[in-house]
Amino acid sequence: MKRKELGDLGEKSAADYLRKRGYRIHERNYRCRAGEIDIVAQDRDCLVFVEVRTRTGPAFGTPEESIGAVKKGRLASAALTYLQTHRKLPPHWRFDVVAIEVGPGGETERIELIRDAFG
């Protein structure tokens, strides 16, 4: 399976998983000049910027640590832009990471949610 397909599949699985956990999905694939965010969601009174990581096979390293400095910066910049351009925002916000492990045929094997990954 190609990398982009893998990513798209992962993002869809992540959105479904978050919904089951009671998150409300506001937006997917939020893009702005400063960066991009896979899923913007809400968990009760907290706005959650979600980065989805899709891996084939067991990962080496944790999902959060697989995100490099530049990417983290783009996430932060995009989050700030979102906060500055939207009204009626919840009182809190944070970053979560959803890590999806996919088997060789594309089946989802494991989904892990890391709350407040960059706390």
Q: Which residues bind another protein (CB under 8 A)?
A: 1-3, 6, 55-57, 59-61, 65-71
Sheet holding 35-43, edge to edge: 24-32, 35-43, 46-56, 92-102, 108-114
Please say which residue, 47 or 78, places its beta carbon nearer to another protein. Answer: 78
Q: How far is the CB of 90 from another protein (least distance, A)?
A: 30
Q: How far is the CB of 104 from another protein (least distance, A)?
A: 11
Please say which residue, 86 or 110, places its beta carbon nearer to another protein. Answer: 110
Please say which residue, 42 or 66, places its beta carbon nearer to another protein. Answer: 66
| Listed residue (66, 45, 64) closest to 116, CA to CA | 64
Q: How far apart are CA 72 and CA 67, in angstroms?
A: 6
For the record, the structure tokens of 78 come out as 């995009």
